[in-house]
Structure 1
Amino acid sequence: MSESTRVTQVATVGIAVSDQQKALEFYVGELGFEVRRDAPFGPGRWIEVAPPGAATTIALVPTGVPAGVRLTTADAGAAHTQLRARGVDTDEEVLRMGPGVPPMFAVRDPDGNSLILIEGA
């Protein structure tokens, strides 16, 4: 049995949307989701929605921001080191964008699908 990973949960599934406000209105107004996060992010906003009580959120990402699955880890640096030592295809370094943005890096599976590991709870 292999040593466990430092991945703690599936946090967010990011989907690309052409109009964040229109998408937000659909998910909240039509599907009954609640807004978990809505903050400025690059040229748009970082918006996460989820059904009430759900642990995993959907991020409504603006064009140009990678869509896909975001996983959490308690320590991005340690997870990065561990995965690279195992030969996993990861970004060369952990991305550190500055205050208010958690450290993160991408991991690619054997089919080239990208998963983003983000430091957080």
Structure 2
Amino acid sequence: MTITTRVLSLSVPVADQDAALRFYTEVPGCELRTDVEVWPGARMLEVVPPGSSVALVLLPPDSPLPIAIRLGTSDAQQAHDTVREAGATVHNEELVRTEGVPAMFSFTDPDGNGLVYLEDSDLSELR
């Protein structure tokens, strides 16, 4: 059974989010999709390259939001259980549920790369 529905976004570590936003919108011509303070001190900037549905999330390296590849899943709880059973390092004991945001959790692959699963059924709320 496949638990991944699609790649949603990739994090790009940036020193200055405003400067990075100017660069990504003015040089490669990305469109701003999201500019929101998820919680105090956690600003999420998301830009989309022309013709792509996969976004780039511009985050400072010290962001409380994970530098990660964000994947969609049809069932975040099932994905959480599957990843945990596989022995991956899961960073959230339970799904993270925040009003207006899909259920999610973060984990790392065996090489230490950051990954996040977001429940795909709720993604229309982010648009």
Does the TM-score normalized on the shorter chain lie above 0.5?
A: yes
Match of 1:72 in 2: 72
Structure with the greater alpha carbon radius of gyration: 1
Identify which range, 79-88 or 46-55, moves more after superposition: 79-88
Conserved 8 A contact 2:44-2:57: yes
Equivalent pairs, count: 118
TM-score (norm 2): 0.79
TM-score (norm 1): 0.82
How far off its partner does 1:54 sit? 0.1
Quickly say closer, same or farther: Cα 1:44–1:93, change in 2 above 3 A. closer
Question: How much does 1:77 deviate?
Answer: 0.8
Structure 1 stretches lacking a partner, 5+ long: none
Partner of 2:82: 82
Tell me by how many angstroms 1:44 deviates.
4.5
Looking at structure 2, the residues matched to 60 and 92 of structure 1 have their Cα atoms a distance apart, in angstroms, of 22
Match of 1:29 among 19, 26, 31: 26
Identity %: 39
Alignment of 1:43-82 (within 5 A): 43-62=41-60, 63-64=62-63, 65-82=65-82
Task: Give the conservation status (yes or no) of the 8 Å contact 1:27–1:33.
Answer: yes
Q: Which has the higher strand share?
A: 1
Query: Which 4+ stretches in 1 moved above 4 angstroms?
Result: none
1:92 is displaced (CA, Å) by 5.2
